[in-house]
């Protein structure tokens, strides 16, 4: 495809081929700013083609090496080119001559860009430098840092930013005028960048690389002073789109659209095809809706039956649980009553045992006291009886009595201690019995409380499930009502579509009738055209005969025309001589 290029017309619906240009070894193309010229680079030759008459206007020569880039400027009157031979030429398009030139043999030019007034030229060279020319004089030279090799260059419309594409895919953005650290690097491609373009409003930057990728960057402006934060670029894609708080640019609207009859007919045909497709889709959608409605009703009936069965099962289980809870409460109350009765019986039995023990101990103490009183009485009686006896017998008796009293007193104290120990044991036994009974009662209470909590939670869950099922049932009923409304709407729409279909069928019948009439007319016109063609053939034959006769007459008339021309020349000579003679005669008359 490097031996031809094509020109397309952009319409509202398609790209239409306008013309195909044939030329060899096409390296690059550049359309003029007005769009009426196309400059084509073929090795070291530039060809200018017209987009109006589709012809070759001129060929610009002068470069010895390959041409790398060309740029239009000054209202498409001047074309600037640079090449690998170290030359920059400025051609005048109207004359095809070189107006100015810049010759440097030390390096090769890779790309150039020009300001709007065409006074300043920015060029990138093979020695990794940016050279700035004012007219044809070198004004400034700026080396590219990090020994990056440039491959493309572009200047913004405001002439404040200079974009330089590198061979390893980075776009370096310089601010003008150049200063130290007045650039930022923008990672873009994985291969060498071939071309950089800026939109007319300096909002978008387009980069094209050898990897056949085209990237679109959007520029935003902040109120900071540093270059690294003053200009930001975001790559536009479906996943990464930056929203900017700026007024949206007003897009120009066209007042008139050029449409040909063929486009209009094609559009009519497309509309008819689309209407036919719409009708087909409507029928398909109606069938699908009917099938879906039938399946939905079936599913709804099945789900409603399932829901009713589940609700009945849940209600029966709920009633069973209620009965079980009531039975458990009755059993718990009975068990608690039994335990309380047992506790009361044990408590009464322990009290009776304690009272009997105490009564026995008190009776024993009273008996001992009675015995002591008896002994004292006996002692007193003996003391009275034996007052008169001897002192020795008295002392013996007193000693015996004291011994018996001490022994009796010790036995009484021992019995009293035994009684206290038994009383303490009885109290401990009673206390242990109370503790055991309390523990048993507490365990029974905790068990039944846990069972009650579990049953209450289960009842709550059942109530929640019942409420959710009720909500679902209500939602299903609401959906059924909405589906009924939608079904009615769809039926109304289907009726409207059937009415519209009948109207369209009537229109189609009318159109078919009109088409038949037109076809009959076309048949009559075809007969007339056939007759006219035969008449035209007869006329052409007569024309051929008349042309032959006219040629023969012209051949005869040519010598006569030559004779007439000779006579005319003789008449002119004679008239000139007569005028000369008249002048001489007048002069003679004046002299006389």
What tens digit of pLDDT does each residue of 435-459 get?
Answer: 777 777 777 777 777 777 777 787 7
What are the C-alpha distances in Å from 592 to residues 579, 581, 588? 20, 17, 6
Q: Which helix (H) or strand (E) holds 572?
A: helix 391-591
Confidence check: pLDDT of 265 > 60:
yes
Q: What is the band of 264 on the pLDDT scale with cuts at 50, 70, 90?
A: confident
User: How many other β-carbons are positioned within 10 Å of the β-carbon of residue 478?
Assistant: 10
Long-range interactions of 186-191: CB distance < 8 A, separation 24+: 186/217, 186/233, 188/215, 188/217, 188/235, 189/213, 189/215
Long-range interactions of 223-232: CB distance < 8 A, separation 24+: 227/173, 227/175, 227/181, 227/182, 227/183, 227/184, 228/184, 230/175, 231/161, 231/173, 231/175, 231/184
Hey, where are the domains in the chain?
Answer: 4-235, 307-500
CA 269, chain centre distance (Å)? 36
Mean pLDDT across 543-566? 79
Percent above pLDDT 70 for the chain: 89
Confidence check: pLDDT of 561 > 60:
yes
* Separation between Cα atoms, residue 557 and residue 553, nearest integer Å: 6
Q: Is the dihedral angle over the CA atoms 279, 282, 288, 291 positive or is it negative?
A: negative
pLDDT in tens, 527-547: 778 788 788 888 888 888 888
Q: What is the band of 47 on the pLDDT scale with cuts at 50, 70, 90?
A: very high
* Separation between Cα atoms, residue 91 and residue 63, nearest integer Å: 12
3-state secondary structure of 74: coil
DSSP letter, residue 210: T
DSSP letter, residue 239: S
Instruction: Give residues with Cβ within 8 angstroms of 173, minimum separation 6.
Output: 161, 162, 163, 164, 183, 184, 185, 186, 227, 231, 233
DSSP letter, residue 23: -
pLDDT in tens, 456-489: 787 777 778 777 777 777 777 777 777 778 777 8
* Separation between Cα atoms, residue 199 and residue 389, nearest integer Å: 159
Which is more confidently placed, 247 or 360?
Answer: 360
Q: What is the pLDDT of residue 433?
A: 74
Which is more confidently placed, 578 or 444?
Answer: 578
pLDDT in tens, 131-153: 999 888 888 888 888 778 899 99
Instruction: Give residues with Cβ within 8 angstroms of 85, minimum separation 6.
Output: 63, 64, 65, 105, 108
Instruction: Give residues with Cβ within 8 angstroms of 361, minimum separation 6.
Output: 419, 422, 423
User: How many other β-carbons are positioned within 10 Å of the β-carbon of residue 95?
Assistant: 10
Q: What is the pLDDT of residue 392?
A: 64
In SS3 terms, 337-357 reads as HHHHHHHHHHHHHHHHHHHHH
Q: What is the band of 305 on the pLDDT scale with cuts at 50, 70, 90?
A: confident
Quote the longest CA-to-CA distance of the chain.
249
pLDDT in tens, 365-411: 777 777 777 777 776 776 676 565 556 665 676 677 677 777 767 77
177 upstream amide cis, omega within 30 of 0:
yes
Instruction: Report the range out of 225-234, 240-249, 251-260, 482-491 with the highest average pLDDT.
Output: 482-491
Q: What is the pLDDT of residue 125?
A: 92
Which of 23-32, 128-137, 222-231 is predicted with the least confidence, judged by mean pLDDT? 222-231
Q: What is the band of 164 on the pLDDT scale with cuts at 50, 70, 90?
A: very high
Which is more confidently placed, 589 or 167?
Answer: 167
Confidence check: pLDDT of 563 > 50:
yes
**What's the fold here for domain 4-235?**
Methylamine Dehydrogenase; Chain H (2.130.10)
Strand-pairing partners, residue 185, are 172
Q: What is the band of 117 on the pLDDT scale with cuts at 50, 70, 90?
A: confident
Q: What is the band of 50 on the pLDDT scale with cuts at 50, 70, 90?
A: very high
* Separation between Cα atoms, residue 209 and residue 168, nearest integer Å: 10
Q: What is the band of 72 on the pLDDT scale with cuts at 50, 70, 90?
A: very high
The backbone torsions φ and ψ at residue 437, rounded to the nearest 5 degrees and listed phi first, read -65, -40
Do residues 233 and 191 touch, judged by C-beta distance below 8 A?
no
Which of 39-48, 309-318, 353-362 is predicted with the least confidence, judged by mean pLDDT? 353-362
In which residue are the tokens 């020795």 written?
392
| Residue 47 backbone class (left: φ over 0; alpha: ψ -120 to 50; beta: rest) | beta
3-state secondary structure of 231: strand
Confidence check: pLDDT of 259 > 80:
no
Q: State pTM to two decimals.
A: 0.42
Q: What is the pLDDT of residue 37?
A: 92
DSSP code string of 508-530 = HHHHHHHHHHHHHHHHHHHHHHH
**How buried is residue 565: exposed, middle or buried, by Cβ count under 10 Å (0-12/13-18/19+)?**
exposed
Q: What is the pLDDT of residue 39?
A: 94
Q: What is the pLDDT of residue 251?
A: 41
Sheet with 109-114, edge to edge strand ranges:
109-114, 120-125, 129-134, 137-143
């Amino acid at each position: 495809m490097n031996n031809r290029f094509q020109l397309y017309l952009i319409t509202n619906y398609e790209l239409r081929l306008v013309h195909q240009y044939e030329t060899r070894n096409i390296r690059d193309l550049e359309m003029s700013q007005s769009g009426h010229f196309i400059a084509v680079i073929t090795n070291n030759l530039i060809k200018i083609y017209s987009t109006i008459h589709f012809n070759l206007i001129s060929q610009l020569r002068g470069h010895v090496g390959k041409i790398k880039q060309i740029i239009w400027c000054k209202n498409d009157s001047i074309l600037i080119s640079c090449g690998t031979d170290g030359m920059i030429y400025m051609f005048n398009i109207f004359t095809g001559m070189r107006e100015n030139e810049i010759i440097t043999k030390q390096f090769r030019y890779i790309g150039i860009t020009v300001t709007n007034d065409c006074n300043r030229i920015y060029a990138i060279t093979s020695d990794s430098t940016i050279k700035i020319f004012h007219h044809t004089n070198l004004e400034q030279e700026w080396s590219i840092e990090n020994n990056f090799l440039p491959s493309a260059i572009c200047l913004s419309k405001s002439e404040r930013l200079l974009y330089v594409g590198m061979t390893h895919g980075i776009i370096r953005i310089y601010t003008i005028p150049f200063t130290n650290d007045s650039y930022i690097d923008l990672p873009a491609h994985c291969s060498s960048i071939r071309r950089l373009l800026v939109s007319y409003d300096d909002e978008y930057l387009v980069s094209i690389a050898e990897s056949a990728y085209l990237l679109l960057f959007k520029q935003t402006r902040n109120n900071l002073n540093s270059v690294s934060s003053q200009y930001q670029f975001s790559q536009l894609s479906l996943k990464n789109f930056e929203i900017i708080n700026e007024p949206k640019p007003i897009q120009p609207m066209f007042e008139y659209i050029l449409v040909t009859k063929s486009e209009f007919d094609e559009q009519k045909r497309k509309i008819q095809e689309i209407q036919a497709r719409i009708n087909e889709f409507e029928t398909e959608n109606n069938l699908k809706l009917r099938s879906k409605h039938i399946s939905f009703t079936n599913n709804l009936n099945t789900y409603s039956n399932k829901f009713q069965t589940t609700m009945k099962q849940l209600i029966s289980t709920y009633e069973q649980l209620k009965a079980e809870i009531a039975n458990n409460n009755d059993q718990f109350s009975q068990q608690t009553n039994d335990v309380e009765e047992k506790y009361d019986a044990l408590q009464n039995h322990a009290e009776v045992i304690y009272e009997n023990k105490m009564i026995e101990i008190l009776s024993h103490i009273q008996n001992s006291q009675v015995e002591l009183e008896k002994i004292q009485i006996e002692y007193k009686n003996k003391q009275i009886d034996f007052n008169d006896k001897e002192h020795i017998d008295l002392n013996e008796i007193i000693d015996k009595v004291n011994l018996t009293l001490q022994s009796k007193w010790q036995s009484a104290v021992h019995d009293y201690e035994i009684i206290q120990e038994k009383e303490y044991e009885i109290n401990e036994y009673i206390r242990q019995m109370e503790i055991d009974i309390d523990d048993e009662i507490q365990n029974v209470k905790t068990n039944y409380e846990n069972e009650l909590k579990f049953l209450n939670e289960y009842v709550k869950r059942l109530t929640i499930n019942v409420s959710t099922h009720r909500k679902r049932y209500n939602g299903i009923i609401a959906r059924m009502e909405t589906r009924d409304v939608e079904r009615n709407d769809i039926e109304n729409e289907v009726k409207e579509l059937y009415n519209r279909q009948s109207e369209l069928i009537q229109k189609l019948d009318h159109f078919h009738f009109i088409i038949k009439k037109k076809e009959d007319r076309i048949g009559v016109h075809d007969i007339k055209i056939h007759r006219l063609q035969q008449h035209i053939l007869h006329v052409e034959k007569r024309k051929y005969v008349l042309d032959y006769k006219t040629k023969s007459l012209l051949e005869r008339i040519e010598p006569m025309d030559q004779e007439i021309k000779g006579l005319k020349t003789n008449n002119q000579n004679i008239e000139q001589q007569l005028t000369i003679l008249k002048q001489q005669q007048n002069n003679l008359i004046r002299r006389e």
